[in-house]
Chain A
């Protein structure tokens, strides 16, 4: 079993081209023309903006949001010495850890029983991956309705059973946890799909052999199945962390980063600095964007390097 994190990392030269030189020349011209649209889009909307953000991060911003001269590294100094930055990074770390941990634990709890061969499993599989169809904003508004303090369903149930209403989205103790919960729910369908694939690829003879050797279901899960799906788990950890790092919709819709910045993560901080009410500080927002870039780049390199080379069977 091989895990290829991104398709086709190994480059293969064009091999189907006809051999005549005239053909090759016209092919080459056509190839260049065909590459233009994609290269143009990447140049304008991926590479140029990366450069522009790097430059912006060293510039001051006037009250209209216009770049106003170089300030060197001052935006970075301001960012790193700002106590709310520390809080933001801590929130981001908790958010990523919670989301990725939650995805894996809940994903396994759902997928392991699904791998038992019993009647009706296709129906259960379809049902348990169905949340995939819910977009970030639809899921978020539904959870906002369910978790709201007054007439929200969850609190209605809690108070009906004699409990005290919980301010899920409006209390500093609950906001981040609530957003994590909603994000885990939103990504569970995809996690289940991935893990189903991984468990499905396990050779049944290996498990059979373990069974004949007297291993119970728990033992064979821990010693056989789980190690065999670690490549997929690594994949979920790395890509899930990148995904969690760049999460925006749930936070904006459910808590707006609040209360008192308690659910403000890095991406939400970028949004607030650049587009928040009366802020429009593109210089500081760009510096935060560069921090995000460095983190994602590091994770991507881990993904391409370690995963591609080591986690192969």
Chain B
């Protein structure tokens, strides 16, 4: 075989391999999106139901009407917004204090933050449950996000970005008489925007996808988040695959859109903290 033929055969094999991988890896995602738009009676036909020829929005309508998934979707939006805004805000002010304020004992605080990352949330879950129930907060939306308004990882990522901020710029701002708020708003955040965007996206995705804690601290259907809602829907109405998949699509689409819009930032954000 001539080298060019060999190369063509090799790239053909690579493509074939990748196509198989895409089919296998992406199939569940396709199943969620296609199934959400296909009536259950077609889905139950097996393979024929997987060809998108009977598309319609009936499943979504029933998911929103028959079960309160629409309401739970709104709950999830509220929880995600509150948790993300607070987590990012607290992340910024904490990192600011650690980097720019002349504090003693920042090393000790740093170790405290490190230590907090080694304590699994699943260990402290029972005690946290007892705490919030003694505050009579069970079955409220507030308690779904309250323990997560500060995140050690978020603080670290901001600290990291702030540490690489040019010292001369900070000096110049101070000499020009800029206060802390002005410095943060017009210099620090604009210049560390990639970090701000990716941390926000990752925080929001994590808040949106939360499951274990929201499951424990909410009881009534109208206070559930949509992630818990779809799991309970699957447990009780598993036979109606179309409606279950419509619920799954409802929670997947916002993140899918987010990734499509901000792919560069999300990929960067997800692997920050992992590898540099």
A residues sitting closer than 8 Å to B (CB atoms) are: 2-9, 11-18, 23-24, 27-28, 30-32, 34-35, 37-39, 41-42, 44-50, 52-53, 56, 109-110, 113-114, 116, 118, 124, 126-146, 148, 151, 153, 156-157, 160, 185, 188-190, 193-194, 197-198, 232, 235, 239, 242, 245-246, 248-249, 252-253, 267, 270-271, 274-275, 282, 285-286, 289-290, 292-293, 296-297, 300-301, 304
A/B interface sample: 22 pairs, CB < 8 A? A13-B106, A16-B99, A27-B101, A30-B180, A37-B90, A41-B149, A42-B116, A42-B152, A46-B119, A49-B127, A52-B130, A56-B127, A110-B21, A113-B14, A127-B26, A131-B28, A139-B28, A185-B28, A242-B120, A246-B122, A285-B126, A296-B123
Q: CA of A189 to CA of B17 in the docked complex: distance in angstroms?
A: 17
* Interface flag for B61 (CB, 8 Å): no
Q: CA of A112 to CA of B252 in the docked complex: distance in angstroms?
A: 28
The answer to whether B44 touches A151, judged by C-beta atoms less than 8 angstroms apart, is yes
Q: Which residues of A contact B44 (CB under 8 A)?
A: 151
The answer to whether B90 touches A38, judged by C-beta atoms less than 8 angstroms apart, is yes
Instruction: Tell me the B20-52 residues at the A interface (CB within 8 Å).
Output: 21-22, 25-26, 28-29, 31-32, 35, 43-47, 50
The answer to whether B244 touches A145, judged by C-beta atoms less than 8 angstroms apart, is yes
Q: Which residues of A contact B150 (CB under 8 A)?
A: 37-38, 41-42
The answer to whether A4 touches B21, judged by C-beta atoms less than 8 angstroms apart, is no
The answer to whether A8 touches B163, judged by C-beta atoms less than 8 angstroms apart, is yes
The answer to whether A293 touches B123, judged by C-beta atoms less than 8 angstroms apart, is yes
A291 smallest CB distance to B (angstroms): 9
* Interface flag for B185 (CB, 8 Å): no
Given contacts A27-B100, A110-B21, whether A141 and B248 have CB atoms under 8 Å apart is yes
* Interface flag for B228 (CB, 8 Å): yes
Given contacts A35-B94, A118-B11, whether A194 and B275 have CB atoms under 8 Å apart is yes
Q: Which residues of A contact B159 (CB under 8 A)?
A: 7-8
Contact mask B236-276 → A, CB, 8 Å, 1/0?
A: 00110100110111011001101100010001001111111
Q: Which residues of B contact A127 (CB under 8 A)?
A: 22, 25-26
Q: Which residues of B contact A275 (CB under 8 A)?
A: 216
CB within 8 A of B100: which of A17, A148, A267? Answer: A17
Q: Which residues of B contact A232 (CB under 8 A)?
A: 275
Q: CA of A141 to CA of B252 in the docked complex: distance in angstroms?
A: 12
Given contacts A41-B149, A194-B271, whether A56 and B241 have CB atoms under 8 Å apart is no
The answer to whether A138 touches B251, judged by C-beta atoms less than 8 angstroms apart, is yes
The answer to whether A113 touches B107, judged by C-beta atoms less than 8 angstroms apart, is no
Q: Which residues of A contact B249 (CB under 8 A)?
A: 138
The answer to whether B102 touches A17, judged by C-beta atoms less than 8 angstroms apart, is yes
Contact mask B201-213 → A, CB, 8 Å, 1/0?
A: 0000000110110
Given contacts A28-B101, A282-B130, whether A157 and B46 have CB atoms under 8 Å apart is yes
A118 smallest CB distance to B (angstroms): 5
* Interface flag for B97 (CB, 8 Å): yes
Q: CA of A190 to CA of B205 in the docked complex: distance in angstroms?
A: 13
CB within 8 A of B22: which of A23, A124, A190? Answer: A124
B156 smallest CB distance to A (angstroms): 5
The chain B residue sitting closest to A253, CB to CB, is B231
Q: Which residues of A contact B102 (CB under 8 A)?
A: 14, 17, 24, 27-28, 31
The chain A residue sitting closest to B209, CB to CB, is A135
The chain A residue sitting closest to B109, CB to CB, is A35
The answer to whether A135 touches B14, judged by C-beta atoms less than 8 angstroms apart, is no
Question: What 3 pairs between A and B have smallest CB-CB spacing?
Answer: A31-B101, A156-B46, A49-B127
The answer to whether B29 touches A134, judged by C-beta atoms less than 8 angstroms apart, is yes
CB within 8 A of A270: which of B126, B167, B235, B244? Answer: B126
CB within 8 A of A16: which of B35, B167, B238? Answer: B167
The answer to whether A11 touches B106, judged by C-beta atoms less than 8 angstroms apart, is yes
CB within 8 A of B125: which of A249, A253, A270? Answer: A270
Given contacts A28-B102, A142-B245, A253-B231, whether A53 and B127 have CB atoms under 8 Å apart is yes
The answer to whether B120 touches A293, judged by C-beta atoms less than 8 angstroms apart, is yes
B104 smallest CB distance to A (angstroms): 8
CB within 8 A of B211: which of A44, A136, A197, A301? Answer: A136
The answer to whether B216 touches A153, judged by C-beta atoms less than 8 angstroms apart, is no
CB within 8 A of B160: which of A7, A44, A46, A246? Answer: A7
Q: CA of A248 to CA of B163 in the docked complex: distance in angstroms?
A: 36
The answer to whether A50 touches B100, judged by C-beta atoms less than 8 angstroms apart, is no
Q: CA of A148 to CA of B22 in the docked complex: distance in angstroms?
A: 23
Instruction: Tell me the B104-155 residues at the A interface (CB within 8 Å).
Output: 104, 106-107, 109-110, 112-114, 116-131, 146-147, 149-150, 152, 155
CB within 8 A of A131: which of B29, B100, B160? Answer: B29
CB within 8 A of A50: which of B104, B123, B157, B216? Answer: B123
Q: CA of A7 to CA of B271 in the docked complex: distance in angstroms?
A: 11
